[in-house]
Structures are given as C-alpha cells and as structure tokens.
Amino acid sequence: MSHRKKKALKPIKSVLKDSNQTLQQIALGAAELKPFQRAWSAVLPDPACNHVLPAFYKNGKLTVWVHSPVWANWIRHRQAFIMSRIQQQKLPEVHTLNIRLAQKNLVSGKTKSLSGRKKPKARTSEIIKQTAKGIHDAELRQSLQRLATTLKK
C-alpha cells in the first residue's frame, strides 16, 4: 500500500477558466498579427515575402520566421527599410524586429527551430555556390558565396 499523498485535482470549473483565458490570449495574438499577414507581400518584395513570415506581434515587437540563415542575413541588412515599409503600410507600430530561423517540417506541417542541426555535408558548399550564380540580387548572391566559402572550411 502506498503512503504517498494524493495530489488534489483542480475543479473542472477552474480548468475551463484557465483554458478559456489561454484561448483568449491566443486569439488576441492572432488578431494582432493578422494585419501583418495581410500586408506582408506589400512590405517585402518577391521572393523575400515567401521566405520571411510574420510569426508574432506584441507591444511593438514583431517576430519573423525565416527559412534560412541567408534570409536572416538579408533581413538584418534591410531592417531599417522594412521598418519604414511597415510604417508606409499603416500597420501597427513596430520598434523591434526579431528574426528567428525556422524550418517547415513537411511531415507534420509544424514549424521547428533549426538550432542543434548537423553540420552540412561537403557537397552542400558546391550546391550553394552553383545556386548563387543564378541569383539576380547582388547582395543575396554575395551572401550565398560567402556561405559556400565558410562551409568549405
């Protein structure tokens, strides 16, 4: 026979109240983000708007998910431009732009962090170098070439 004390269960009313508050916070967060999602293609030019996505907005702080370190670098170099475009679109005020790497998991459809990934294979550097040759944006092309050089080391 166990002598452990039984943990008191929360009354169902309390659980429902807590979950209702959480759902309201999620809905409020989604509502605050919606204007950014609607106007995002006007804020960023193609193809950037497909690789940089608004994820969270709260109290003037906009977090965007980017699909690769190259796009994160692209955003960092154009942060002032992006902030001015957000103002031009008459979106809520943004004083801080957070950039987070994310990857779309094709199996589950969920987004997960890229931290802790394995080191790229040797062939990756060559693939990136070849891809850079076809990029028209000079800054993005140079960033890809730097990345390819870094991966070789």
Q: Is 119 exposed, middle or buried (0-12, 13-18, 19+ CB in 10 A)?
A: exposed
The DSSP 8-state label assigned to residue 68 in this structure reads: S
Domains in the chain (CATH in brackets) are 15-117 (3.30.300.180), 118-153 (no CATH)
- Position 5 scores a pLDDT of 62
- Position 90 scores a pLDDT of 87
**How many other β-carbons are positioned within 10 Å of the β-carbon of residue 108?**
8
- Position 109 scores a pLDDT of 45
- Position 57 scores a pLDDT of 85
Nearest to 128 by CA among 144, 113, 116: 144
The greatest distance separating any two alpha carbons of the chain, rounded to the nearest whole angstrom, comes to 74
C-alpha to C-alpha distances, 62 to 18, 44, 46, nearest whole angstrom: 26, 14, 20
pLDDT tens column, 73-122: 999 999 999 889 988 888 888 888 888 887 654 333 444 544 455 666 77
pLDDT tens column, 4-31: 666 666 666 665 566 666 565 555 566 7
Return the structure tokens found at 43: 């804020």
Per-residue pLDDT at 143 exceeds 80: yes
The number of C-alpha atoms within 13 Å of 87 and in the hemisphere containing its C-beta is 8
What is the rounded distance in angstroms from the CA atom of residue 32 to the CA atom of residue 126?
A: 42
- Position 148 scores a pLDDT of 83
- Position 105 scores a pLDDT of 45
What three-state secondary structure class fits 66? strand
